[in-house]
Amino acid sequence: MGKAENSRIALPIGSNLDRFIMRNQEDFPYASGELSQLLRDLAYAGKVVNREINMAGLAGITGAYGAENVQGEEQQNLDVAADIRFTRALKKGGEVAAIISEEAEEIIDLSNPRSKYIVAMDPLDGSSNIDVNVSIGTIFSIYRRISPQGSPIQMEDVLQPGKNQVAAGYILYGSSTMMVYTTGSGVNGFTYEPSLGEYILSHQNMQMPKDGKIYSINEGSYKSFSESVVNYIESCKDKGYSARYIGSLVADFHRNLLKGGIYIYPSTAKAPNGKLRLLYECNALAMIAEQAGGRATDGKQRIMEIEPSELHQRVPFYVGSENMVLEAEKA
């Protein structure tokens, strides 16, 4: 059997992440292996953060760090720890030219002359759940830089629309820890097996159901929702759908990916452009949703078509089962 033919055989459930990444790389004969290494670096940092989250209550690293991040939100100890772990892993790995992080105001230019990738990340999302032992997650997007390798990073390198993503994913620290990612040819999920220290392929070629019966939105802001959002919520109630809202984007998204559902963070009085950040929260989940057959928009426009103008730009976010998102857009 030739190599190309051989590489088309999907690895079975139970294969480990490293093997999976290597096998995917074989499908691209000219691949340099840098993206593979970058994905492994992210997975490794996820293991370290996972360990810290598991120990947080014992190690006294819950609670506020005493500073605010660029969004004016209080940083938690674990937010800061996760930012350090991921940044360090990417820096050491050497495949990344620059990082955009929720926790850093400016671009982190790693001045690495031989790297061509840009990573946008939210190292630990779901801050209100960090201290209370509820699921939280890491979100990441990977882009190719536009300006020449070795030159200083330009705004155009980081302000790229989501459709330019080379890969995207998340790590969910939930009842089990999982890494879910796509490189543009389907979505696969790996469950972390702590006694082996390995991520194991557990969810192959994930598909989001076209319809669902779960809607996830913070109804506390109901009074400031637009008429269209109110109409949509009312239609969900009329149909007897279930409301499920963890308040951790990755966890709400992951549940809807598996079971079918919609997550909406619309504009509200408090957050006129929505709350979630385009570059390191919405784009990654939009790519995963689309790769799994779902849909992601700001209520009108495809998320991945939006041309970003700022690093920490916010957008309204509608993501989930295709027919549900279509219906919400029409409501």
Question: Which spans of this chain sit near Mg ion (rule: CB under 5 A)?
Answer: 122, 125
11 in helix, strand or coil? coil
Fill in the amino acid letter for 196: L
* CA distances (Å), origin 189, targets 15, 150, 205: 11, 34, 8
Tell which one of 138, 182, 248, 256 touches ligand AHM (CB under 6 A).
248
For residues 11 and 201, the answer to whether their CB atoms sit within 8 Å is yes
125 vs 298 by CB, closer to Mg ion: 125
Q: Does 126 bind ligand AHM (CB under 6 A)?
A: yes
Q: Does 247 bind ligand AHM (CB under 6 A)?
A: yes
Instruction: Say which DSSP state 319 is in.
Output: E
Sheet holding 262-265, edge to edge: 242-243, 214-216, 262-265, 317-320, 295-297
* Smallest distance, ligand AHM to C-beta of residue 216, A: 8
Identify residues 5-64 at the interface with ligand AHM (CB under 6 A). Answer: none
Q: Does 156 bind ligand AHM (CB under 6 A)?
A: no
* CA distances (Å), origin 331, targets 174, 228, 283: 33, 5, 24
* Smallest distance, ligand AHM to C-beta of residue 126, A: 4
108 vs 139 by CB, closer to ligand AHM: 139
Q: Which stretch binds ligand AHM (CB under 6 A): 90-98, 125-133, 225-233, 307-315?
A: 125-133
Identify residues 199-238 at the interface with ligand AHM (CB under 6 A). Answer: 218
* Smallest distance, Mg ion to C-beta of residue 101, A: 10
Q: Which stretch binds ligand AHM (CB under 6 A): 5-13, 40-48, 157-165, 248-256?
A: 248-256
140 vs 232 by CB, closer to Mg ion: 140
Contacts of 267 (CB under 8 A, 6+ apart): 226, 273, 274, 316
User: How many whole angstroms separate alpha carbon 129 and alpha carbon 276?
Assistant: 16
Cα end-to-end distance, the chain, whole Å: 53
270 in helix, strand or coil? coil
Identify residues 82-121 at the interface with ligand AHM (CB under 6 A). Answer: 102
Instruction: Say which DSSP state 305 is in.
Output: G
* Smallest distance, Mg ion to C-beta of residue 107, A: 18
Q: Does 73 bind ligand AHM (CB under 6 A)?
A: yes
Q: Which stretch binds ligand AHM (CB under 6 A): 90-98, 187-195, 207-215, 242-250?
A: 242-250
For residue 103, the partner it binds in ligand AHM, Mg ion, none, with Cβ less than 5 to 8 A by kind, is none
138 vs 165 by CB, closer to Mg ion: 138
Burial class from Cβ neighbours inside 10 Å (0-12, 13-18, 19+) for residue 161 reads middle
Instruction: Say which DSSP state 16 is in.
Output: B
Identify residues 257-276 at the interface with ligand AHM (CB under 6 A). Answer: 275
* Smallest distance, ligand AHM to C-beta of residue 275, A: 5
Number of residues that bind ligand AHM (CB under 6 A): 13
* CA distances (Å), origin 198, targets 9, 179, 202, 233, 329: 22, 11, 12, 41, 40
21 vs 286 by CB, closer to ligand AHM: 286
- Residue ranges binding ligand AHM (CB under 6 A): 73, 102, 122, 125-128, 218, 247-249, 252, 275
